[in-house]
């Protein structure tokens, strides 16, 4: 009997060891393989497959663009919607061919890279304020000061007199306000906090602007989709997301009072009006708090980021050329997909600036695009 008992113990141990070994091969081995493929694909791997990472703001548009480009040109683009901050980090570590961000690289990020990075504008879009109030049929209106007070935690109930004053006739509940914001480094956050810093001195002093800030109140979600989920799942929730996410998820979004005193609905037209400005040579410009009378005040450009010198990490000249041709297509023919997905097509001035920037990219010191 003792012999049988020991035999059972030994048999169980062998089975357990085998299961653990297989599990390790399936998870750890798979992760290592993915990491290796990501690294090689962005350096010396398959030149017919590019990797990008960054802005979740851009993801709905990029998904359509890259699918179409693959269909017509055969080039595969694997885009990882991980947030602008993570995209810049991956570009800095040179594990991707390009990053994407809704905020230009800041001084700290610039100092972390070993060679110049180009910013190519690829689209413009609206950051909208979406909310979850059961049974509410009206579209809410917010002034700049009202928004700042809500996100500072100064206003905590939906039926607060300050909200009611701007939304006369709307039956506002006594529900508590729950803020939803980004938990990751985010260009969408940069657009929103830059706007709040421009319109509220208190916000500017206490919180400031940036891709990551210390939020006074609220819950954090990863990516635009994470914040959208938080809003939808939280009665009384309010948060900021890209317009396409609100539309795709059938979520209500507010009219925002602009600098001219007009309450503006976020749309392709109102973002286009905000983006109708002079574009600097490096394309780094903010669209928030626009002077345009019919412009939506919480809008911004989004950029694809690449190294100016493309000969690095054993990259081939062919790989660099394919990347530059893709980006040129995105700011020209690829813009036809913008409107249907609630992005504003680039203005002629932005396209001209983008073309000029792309022509400065080099491989071994020689221009890639002629």
In the predicted model, what is the mean pLDDT of the chain? 89
238 close to 150: Cβ distance less than 8 angstroms: yes
* Per-residue model confidence as pLDDT tens digits over 309-342: 999 999 999 999 999 999 999 999 999 999 999 9
Q: Please state, in angstroms and rounded to a whole number, the distance separating the CA atoms of residues 95 and 42.
A: 6
pLDDT of residue 257: 98
* Per-residue model confidence as pLDDT tens digits over 58-71: 999 999 999 999 99
Report phi then psi at 221, rounded to 5.
-130, 150
13 pLDDT exceeds 70?
no
> b/e map of 282-291 (b: 16 or more CB within 10 Å)?
ebebbbbbbe
pLDDT of residue 119: 98
Lowest mean pLDDT, pick from 25-34, 40-49, 83-92: 25-34
Q: Please state, in angstroms and rounded to a whole number, the distance separating the CA atoms of residues 235 and 177.
A: 8
Q: CATH number of the domain at 126-274, out of 2.40.33.10, 3.50.50.60, 3.40.190.10, 3.40.630.10? A: 3.40.190.10
2 pLDDT exceeds 70?
no
How many percent of the chain have pLDDT more than 70? 88
**Burial (Cβ within 10 Å: 0-12, 13-18, ≥19) of residue 75:** middle
Average pLDDT over residues 195-222: 97
Q: Which two three-digit tokens encode residue 288?
A: 């928030």
Q: Please state, in angstroms and rounded to a whole number, the distance separating the CA atoms of residues 343 and 280.
A: 21
Q: Please state, in angstroms and rounded to a whole number, the distance separating the CA atoms of residues 38 and 91.
A: 12
pTM (predicted TM-score): 0.84
* Per-residue model confidence as pLDDT tens digits over 61-112: 999 999 999 999 999 999 999 999 999 999 999 999 999 999 999 999 999 9
54 pLDDT exceeds 60?
yes
The residue among 98, 57, 92, 94 whose CA lies nearest residue 75 is 98
pLDDT of residue 45: 63
pLDDT of residue 73: 95
How many percent of the chain have pLDDT more than 90? 86
What is the 3 state secondary structure string of the chain? CHHHHHHHHHHHHHHHHHHHHHHHHHHHHHHHHHHHHHHHHCCCCCCCEEEEEECCCCHHHHHHHHHHHHHHHCCEEEEEECCHHHHHHHHHCCCCCEEEECCCCCHHHHHHCCCCEEEEEEEEEEEEEEECCCCCCCCCEECHHHHHHHHHCCCCECCCHHHHHHCCCCCCCCCECEEEEECCCCHHHHHHHHHHHHHCHHHHHHCCCCCCCCCCCCEEECHHHHHHHHHHHCCCEEEEEEHHHHHHCCCCECEEECCCCCEECCCHHHHHHHCCCCCCCCCCCCCCCCCCCCCCCCEEEEEEEEECECCCCCCCHHHHHHHHHHHHHHHCHHHHHCHHHCCECCCHHHHHHHHHHHCCCEECCEECCC
pLDDT of residue 100: 97
Widest CA span of the chain, in angstroms? 90
- Indicate where the chain has its CATH 3.40.190.10 domain(s): 49-124+302-367, 126-274
* Per-residue model confidence as pLDDT tens digits over 344-370: 999 999 999 999 999 999 999 999 998
Report phi then psi at 244, rounded to 5.
-60, -35
Neighbours of 141 (CB within 10 A): 18
* Per-residue model confidence as pLDDT tens digits over 251-268: 999 999 999 999 999 999
pLDDT of residue 27: 32
The residue among 294, 255, 297 whose CA lies nearest residue 126 is 297
pLDDT of residue 46: 80
Q: Please state, in angstroms and rounded to a whole number, the distance separating the CA atoms of residues 180 and 13.
A: 48
The residue among 219, 147, 151 whose CA lies nearest residue 183 is 219
* Per-residue model confidence as pLDDT tens digits over 161-189: 999 999 999 999 999 999 999 999 999 99
Place domain 49-124+302-367 in its CATH homologous superfamily: Periplasmic binding protein-like II (3.40.190.10)
* Per-residue model confidence as pLDDT tens digits over 227-286: 999 999 999 999 999 999 999 999 999 999 999 999 999 999 999 999 999 999 999 999
The residue among 195, 65, 182, 185 whose CA lies nearest residue 126 is 195
1 pLDDT exceeds 70?
no
């Amino acid at each position: 009997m003792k012999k049988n008992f020991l035999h059972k113990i030994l048999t169980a141990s062998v089975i357990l060891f085998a299961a653990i070994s297989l599990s390790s091969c399936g998870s750890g081995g798979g992760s290592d393989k993915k990491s290796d493929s990501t690294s090689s694909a962005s350096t010396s791997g398959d030149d017919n497959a590019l990797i990008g990472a960054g802005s979740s703001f851009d993801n709905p548009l990029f998904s359509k663009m890259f699918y179409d480009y693959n269909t017509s040109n055969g080039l595969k683009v694997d885009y990882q919607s991980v947030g602008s901050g993570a995209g810049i980090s991956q570009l800095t570590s040179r594990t991707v061919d390009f990053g994407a961000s809704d905020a230009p690289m800041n001084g700290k990020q610039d100092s972390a890279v070993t060679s110049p990075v180009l910013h190519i504008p690829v689209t413009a879009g609206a950051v909208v304020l979406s909310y979850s109030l059961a049974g509410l049929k009206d579209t809410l209106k917010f002034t700049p000061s009202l928004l700042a007070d809500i996100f500072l935690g100064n206003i905590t109930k939906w039926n607060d007199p300050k909200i009611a004053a701007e939304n006369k006739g709307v039956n506002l509940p006594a529900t508590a306000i729950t803020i939803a914001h980004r938990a990751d480094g985010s260009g969408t956050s940069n657009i929103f906090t830059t706007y709040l810093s421009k319109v509220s001195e208190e916000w500017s002093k206490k919180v400031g602007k940036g891709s990551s800030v210390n939020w006074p109140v609220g819950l954090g979600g990863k990516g635009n989709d994470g914040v959208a989920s938080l809003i939808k799942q939280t009665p009384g929730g309010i948060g900021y997301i890209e317009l396409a996410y609100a539309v795709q998820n059938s979520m209500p979004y507010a009219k925002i009072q602009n600098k001219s005193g007009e309450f503006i609905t976020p749309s392709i037209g109102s973002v286009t009006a905000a983006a109708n400005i002079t574009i600097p040579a490096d394309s780094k410009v903010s669209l928030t708090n626009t002077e345009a009378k019919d412009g939506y005040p919480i809008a911004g450009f989004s950029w694809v980021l690449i190294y100016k010198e493309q000969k690095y990490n054993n990259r081939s000249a062919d790989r660099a050329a394919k990347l530059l041709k893709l980006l040129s297509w995105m700011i020209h023919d690829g813009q036809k997909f913008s409107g249907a997905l609630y992005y504003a097509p680039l203005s002629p001035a932005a396209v001209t600036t983008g073309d000029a920037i792309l022509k400065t990219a080099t491989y071994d010191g020689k221009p890639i695009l002629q």
